[in-house]
């Protein structure tokens, strides 16, 4: 999704999950299994903090990144400096086929649908508090979601400079 939006805005996309995997030299699933969730969250926290300072483009965060209070504070600061935070929402019905509820997602082991629902119930209030706009992605292709994001940001009058609406 970040790549689709970045492409529309002629910006660079970056994903902090990819940053974590590069730093660790292994997949997120392997980090969880071999090193544990607390170690993963440390790497994630550092990756998000670094990206918010270094990156000037579209940044994708892992879904659990916002659980860290320091990350929340960094995101509030980022928004205060003019950064735009978008919550890409998805229902359980649409999430199932998209994520596959497979074993590569360590937090969805056991009963993946119940786990996903519990994760979203815990995270949704944080996402909604931090985000300038929320976009429901159900049934939409990435390019369609990018267009919906643009429409929501235009409605909130926060389209990035250099785009047609923000030029």
Q: Regarding beta strands 58-60 and 86-89, do their DSSP bridges make them parallel or antiparallel, or are they unpaired?
A: unpaired
Encoding tokens for residue 134?
């929320």
Encoding tokens for residue 46?
């550092």
Annotated binding site: 17, 41, 63, 105, 123
- Bridge-partner residues for 58, per DSSP? 13
- Bridge-partner residues for 136, per DSSP? 89
What lies within 8 Å, CB to CB, of 115 at 6+ separation is 107, 108, 109
Encoding tokens for residue 24?
């660790």
Report the alpha-carbon distance of residue 28 to residue 24 in Å, rounded.
Answer: 9
Annotated binding site for substrate: 17, 41, 63, 123
Annotated binding site for ATP: 105
* Per-position b or e across 1-15, b if 16+ CB within 10 A of its CB: bbebbbebbebebbb
């Amino acid at each position: 999704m970040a790549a689709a939006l970045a492409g529309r805005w002629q910006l660079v996309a970056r994903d902090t999950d990819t940053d974590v995997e590069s730093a660790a030299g292994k997949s997120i699933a392997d980090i969880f299994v071999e090193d544990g969730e607390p170690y993963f969250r440390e790497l994630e926290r550092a990756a998000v903090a670094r990206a918010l300072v270094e990156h000037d483009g579209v940044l994708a965060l892992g879904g659990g990144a916002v659980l860290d209070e320091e990350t929340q504070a960094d995101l509030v600061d980022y928004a205060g400096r003019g950064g735009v935070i978008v919550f890409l929402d998805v229902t359980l019905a649409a999430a199932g086929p998209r994520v596959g509820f497979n074993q590569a997602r360590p937090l969805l082991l056991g009963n993946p649908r119940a786990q996903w629902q519990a994760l979203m119930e815990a995270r949704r209030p944080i996402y909604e508090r931090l985000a300038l706009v929320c976009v429901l992605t159900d049934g939409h292709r990435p390019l369609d979601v990018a267009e919906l994001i643009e429409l929501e940001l235009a409605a909130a009058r926060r389209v990035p400079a250099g785009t047609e609406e923000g030029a």
